[in-house]
Structure formats: structure tokens, C-alpha cells
């Protein structure tokens, strides 16, 4: 358990796109041949690009932060209770009272 934990790095589920010049040339040739033949079927016209990036971090970070703050509070509370017990139920409390009188 760390008292001052820094948040973890962001994690993205990103799949990069690669450039293939041969495939692009082939696609252009196919388009030109379809135009010459009068074929006007464009199957990819209705498909749109959706980036596959997920931002799942905010909920996880909030739960970790709450859990860490609760643990820190319990450690501090336990320490204070032990100190109070030590002062009130040992002979050191009487010594401290005599010193400050």
C-alpha cells in the first residue's frame, strides 16, 4: 500500500493502419475498369470508419483513488488511536502533565 501513488499510464487499444502502394494501385485500376464498363456498384460507400479506441481508464482510476484514500484514512486513524492509548494509559501522560504545568 503506497501513500502517494501516481496514476498509471493511459492504455489505448489502437490498431494502426498500414499503407500498401500495390493495393492502392490495384484499387485504382479496378475503379477505372468499372467506370469504363459502366458498373456503378460501390459496396464500400455505406461503410464508415470507426476508430477502435476505448477510454476505460476513468472508472478504474476513480475506484483505485477511493480505495487508496480509505486505506490511508484507516492507517492514520489507527495510528491516532494507538497514540491516544499510549498517552492516556501509561505513565508518560503524567510525566507530560508535570512538564507542562
Q: Is residue 15 part of a domain?
A: no
pLDDT, residue 76, reads 95
| Cα 51–chain centre separation | 19
- pLDDT tens digits, residue range 36-78? 887 766 555 555 666 666 666 666 777 777 788 888 999 999 9
| Cα 13–chain centre separation | 12
Q: Is residue 80 part of a domain?
A: yes
- Looking at per-residue confidence, does 95 or 53 come out higher? 95
pLDDT, residue 57, reads 62
Q: Per the structure, how many domains does the chain have? A: 1
pLDDT, residue 25, reads 94
Q: Is residue 6 part of a domain?
A: no
Q: Is residue 25 part of a domain?
A: no
The answer to whether 14 and 53 have CB atoms below 8 angstroms apart is yes
Q: Which domain holds residue 65?
A: 55-101
Amino acid at each position: 500500500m503506497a501513500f502517494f501513488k501516481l496514476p498509471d499510464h493511459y492504455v489505448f487499444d489502437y490498431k494502426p493502419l498500414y499503407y500498401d502502394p500495390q493495393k492502392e494501385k490495384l484499387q485504382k485500376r479496378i475503379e477505372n475498369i468499372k467506370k469504363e464498363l459502366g458498373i456503378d456498384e460501390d459496396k464500400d460507400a455505406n461503410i464508415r470508419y470507426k476508430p477502435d479506441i476505448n477510454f476505460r481508464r476513468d472508472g478504474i482510476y476513480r475506484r483505485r483513488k477511493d480505495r487508496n484514500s480509505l486505506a490511508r484514512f484507516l492507517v492514520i486513524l489507527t495510528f491516532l488511536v494507538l497514540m491516544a492509548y499510549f498517552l492516556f494509559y501509561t505513565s508518560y501522560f503524567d510525566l507530560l502533565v508535570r512538564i507542562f504545568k
